[in-house]
Amino acid sequence: MTTRPSLRTIGFGLFGALFFGAFVYLMTSSKWTLADGTDYKTGMIIMWIVLGVFVFFTLACLWTIFTIKTIVLTSKTLIIKRPFLLLQKTVPIDNIRQVTERTFKINPTVRWTTYNVYEGKQILIECFQGKSILLNSFEISDYYNLTKQLSKLRREKNNGSGKQNEDLKNENQGYGWLVFVALLTIGLIYSIIKQKL
């Protein structure tokens, strides 16, 4: 089986880059003016720091898109591909020592309020050489099918022993926040275009 690229990861990366990139554009296309009584050097340092923060978040969101994973699971190997970076890692099924599953959450805190953006599952694949691989349901669209097939292969290798992974609940979680971020970004870009016309 081959997993599809995650729409959640692409969506949050793309709209995040556009959102923070819009602020970078606003700051670089406008003349910087300081409030009366503000030291010029201090004001410029603050403005450059703010611009640097927006540039950092823009690049971080773009990096999220570039590091998207697709997984290929065959009867003998687990192949982790990063298609945009042309990277690939192959793990033989016989080389997997243990697979454990746990909860995966994205809960940012803003002004002492925690928002539940996403809650899903994550598997930790431990290999005999001491290396480990983390895969989660946010970044893999076919997470449930992948874990089910991986468990099946490992049970077959272990002569029927092993635990069957549970069904992934709330598989569509996170898309509401994605729609909110998309609408917010589209509104911001629309207002910038309207202002410039």
Per-residue pLDDT band at 172 (split at 50, 70, 90)? low
Sign of torsion over alpha carbons 158, 71, 120, 141: negative
Contact 132, 108 (CB under 8 A): no
Per-residue pLDDT band at 161 (split at 50, 70, 90)? very low
Which of 76, 161, 170, 92 lies closest to 125 in space, CA to CA? 92
Q: How many CB atoms lie within 10 A of CB 79?
A: 14
Strands, E assignment, 42-131: 70-73, 77-82, 87-92, 96-106, 109-110, 113-114, 118-127
Owner of token pair 């635990």: 163
What does the pLDDT read at residue 160? 52
Report the alpha-carbon distance of residue 144 to residue 74 in Å, rounded.
Answer: 16
Choice between 173 and 79, residue whose per-residue pLDDT is larger = 79
Q: What is the mean pLDDT of the chain?
A: 83
Q: How far is CA 50 from CA 20, 44, 56, 92, 144, in A?
A: 11, 10, 10, 46, 41
Contact 18, 62 (CB under 8 A): no
Per-residue pLDDT band at 187 (split at 50, 70, 90)? confident
pLDDT in tens, 103-139: 888 877 777 777 777 888 888 888 887 788 888 888 8
For residue 133, the Cα-to-chain-centroid distance in whole angstroms is 16
pLDDT in tens, 36-88: 777 888 888 888 999 999 999 999 999 999 988 888 988 888 898 998 888 99
Task: Report the percentage of the chain scoring pLDDT > 70.
Answer: 91
> Which residues, at least 6 apart from 139, have a Cβ–Cβ distance to it below 8 Å?
6, 8, 9, 68, 69
